[in-house]
Chain A
Amino acid sequence: MSTEDKVKINKLPTGVPGLDEIVGGGLPEFSFNIIAGAPGSGKTTLAHQFVFANATPERPALYFTVLGESAIKMLRYQQQYAFFDPAKLPGSIRFINLSQVVLEKDLGAVFEQISNEVEKTNPAVVVVDSFRTMVREPESDLELQSFIQRLALFLASWQATTFLIGEYAEEELRDNPIFTVADGLFWLRQAAERNSIVRKLQIIKLRGQDSVPGLHTFRITGAGVQAFSRTFGLTARKRNPPSDRRLCFGIPELDKMLGGGVREGDSVLVAGSSGTGKSVLATQFIAEGIRHGEPGIVAVFEERPQAYAERASSLGLDLEAPQKDGKLTILYLRPLDLSVDETMHSILDAVQKIGAKRLVIDSLAGFEMALSPGFRADFRESLYRMIFALTGIGVTILSTVEVDESFTEFPFSTYSISFLTDDIIRLRYVSIDGQLRKIMVVIKMRGGNHAKDIREYEITSKGVVILGNRLTNYQGLISGIPVHSERSGPEEEPSQNPKMGTET
Chain B
Amino acid sequence: MTTSPKTRDLARWLLNYEAVSAKSSESMESVTLSVYEKLRQSLSAFAGVAAFEALAFRALTQAKSEAPSLWAVQVTEDGSLHGLGEFEPQIDIDKDLAGKFPAGEGGIILIARLLGLLLTFLGEALTLSLLRVTWPGAALDDCNSENGRKA
- State which of B47, B48, B49, B129 has its C-beta within 8 Å of the C-beta of A89: B129
Residue B45, interface by CB 8 Å: yes
A82-105, CB under 8 A of B: which get 1 and which 0? 000011011000011111100000
Residue B112, interface by CB 8 Å: no
- State which of B44, B121, B132, B133 has its C-beta within 8 Å of the C-beta of A73: B121
Tell me the bound Cα distance from A65 to B118 in angstroms. Answer: 18
The range of chain B's interface size is: 10 to 19
Query: What residue in chain B is nearest A104 (Cβ atoms)?
Result: B49
Tell me the bound Cα distance from A344 to B55 in angstroms. Answer: 47
B117-146, CB under 8 A of A: which get 1 and which 0? 010011101100110110000000000000
Given contact pairs A86-B129, A89-B126, A97-B45, A72 touches B50 in the complex (Cβ within 8 A): no
Tell me the bound Cα distance from A97 to B123 in angstroms. Answer: 20
Residue B51, interface by CB 8 Å: yes
Query: What residue in chain B is nearest A71 (Cβ atoms)?
Result: B47
Residue in A65, A72, A73, A95 with the greatest tally of chain B CB atoms within 10 Å:
A72
Question: A86 and B126: CB pair below 8 A?
Answer: yes
- List residues of chain B with CB within 8 A of the CB of A97: 44-49, 51
Question: A86 and B48: CB pair below 8 A?
Answer: no
Q: How far is the CB of A44 from chain B (nearest CB, A)?
A: 15
Question: A76 and B48: CB pair below 8 A?
Answer: no
Question: B121 and A76: CB pair below 8 A?
Answer: yes
Residue A75, interface by CB 8 Å: yes
Given contact pairs A75-B126, A86-B125, A99 touches B55 in the complex (Cβ within 8 A): no
Interface residues in A183-225 by Cβ distance below 8 A to B read: none
Given contact pairs A70-B48, A96-B45, A86 touches B123 in the complex (Cβ within 8 A): yes
Question: A99 and B121: CB pair below 8 A?
Answer: no
Q: Count A-B pairs with CB separation below 8 Å.
A: 59
Question: A90 and B133: CB pair below 8 A?
Answer: yes
Interface residues in A32-73 by Cβ distance below 8 A to B read: 65, 70-73
- List residues of chain A with CB within 8 A of the CB of B132: 90
Residue A473, interface by CB 8 Å: no
Q: How far is the CB of A93 from chain B (nearest CB, A)?
A: 10
Question: B123 and A71: CB pair below 8 A?
Answer: no
Question: A76 and B122: CB pair below 8 A?
Answer: yes
Q: How far is the CB of B128 from chain A (nearest CB, A)?
A: 9
- List residues of chain B with CB within 8 A of the CB of A76: 121-123
Q: How far is the CB of B123 from chain A (nearest CB, A)?
A: 6
- State which of A72, A86, A95, A100 has its C-beta within 8 Å of the C-beta of B49: A100
Q: How far is the CB of B150 from chain A (nearest CB, A)?
A: 16
Residue A79, interface by CB 8 Å: yes
Question: A95 and B47: CB pair below 8 A?
Answer: yes
Tell me the bound Cα distance from A72 to B53 in angstroms. Answer: 13
Question: A87 and B125: CB pair below 8 A?
Answer: yes
- List residues of chain B with CB within 8 A of the CB of A70: 47-48, 50-51
Interface residues in B92-134 by Cβ distance below 8 A to A read: 118, 121-123, 125-126, 129-130, 132-133
Question: B47 and A72: CB pair below 8 A?
Answer: yes
- List residues of chain A with CB within 8 A of the CB of B125: 79, 86-87
Q: How far is the CB of A91 from chain B (nearest CB, A)?
A: 8
Interface residues in B34-84 by Cβ distance below 8 A to A read: 44-51, 55
- State which of B48, B122, B123, B130 has its C-beta within 8 Å of the C-beta of A99: B48
Tell me the bound Cα distance from A96 to B47 in angstroms. Answer: 7
Query: What residue in chain A is nearest B49 (Cβ atoms)?
Result: A100
Query: What residue in chain A is nearest B123 (Cβ atoms)?
Result: A79
Given contact pairs A79-B123, A100-B48, A72 touches B55 in the complex (Cβ within 8 A): yes
Q: How far is the CB of A96 from chain B (nearest CB, A)?
A: 6
Q: How far is the CB of A62 from chain B (nearest CB, A)?
A: 12
Given contact pairs A72-B55, A75-B126, A99 touches B49 in the complex (Cβ within 8 A): yes
Given contact pairs A76-B121, A90-B133, A97-B51, A71 touches B126 in the complex (Cβ within 8 A): no
- List residues of chain A with CB within 8 A of the CB of B130: 89-90
Residue in B47, B51, B123, B129 with the greatest tally of chain A CB atoms within 10 Å:
B47
- List residues of chain A with CB within 8 A of the CB of B129: 86-87, 89-90
Tell me the bound Cα distance from A99 to B48 in angstroms. Answer: 6
- List residues of chain A with CB within 8 A of the CB of B49: 97, 99-100
| Listed A/B pairs (14) with beta-carbon separation below 8 Å | A70-B50, A72-B47, A79-B122, A79-B123, A87-B125, A87-B129, A89-B129, A89-B130, A90-B132, A90-B133, A95-B47, A99-B49, A100-B48, A100-B49
Q: Closest 5 CB pairs between A and B?
A: A86-B125, A97-B48, A70-B51, A99-B48, A71-B47
- CB within 8 Å of B: which residues of A? 65, 70-73, 75-76, 79, 86-87, 89-90, 95-100
Having A72-B46, A86-B125, one finds 4 other A-B pairs with CB under 8 Å, namely A71-B46, A76-B122, A79-B125, A99-B50
